Each structure stands twice: as structure tokens, then as C-alpha cells.
Amino acid sequence: MLNYRLVAALTLLCAAVFPMATQWAMEPSGSWFRPFVVWALMVFSGYVVQRQRVWDES
């Protein structure tokens, strides 16, 4: 029942993507809105994951 794909995604996010994304967002030469871009990508990934779910009610 446990969603192992989601756990794997979370682990990947914490281990690899998050440090990279933080480094890119916080680059001194980068635009001020870069952290928001990272956030928007996370929102989009949340949308994609939820779209793939199968609902009992449907």
C-alpha cells in the first residue's frame, strides 16, 4: 500500500535535486526570482504525480 515511488522521488529530491536546485537558485549572479522558479517546478511535478493517480471514485 505504501507508495514506494513517492518515497523514492522524495529521497531523490532530498539527496540530489534539492542541493542542486538550491545552489542554482542562490547563485549570486542569478535573478531574484530563481527560488520561485524552483518552487514552480515543484508545483508542476506535484500536478503531474497527482494526474497519474487512479481514483476509486471515478
* Chain positions contacting another protein, by CB under 8 A: 1-4, 6-7, 10, 22, 25-26, 28, 30-33, 35-36, 39-40, 42-47, 49-50, 53-58
Cell match 534539492: residue? 18
Q: Which one, 16 or 46, has the nearer CB to another protein?
A: 46
Alpha-helix runs per DSSP H in the chain: 4-12, 18-25, 34-51
CA distance 19 to 14: 7
Q: Least CB distance from residue 41 to another protein, whole Å? A: 11
Q: Least CB distance from residue 52 to another protein, whole Å? A: 11
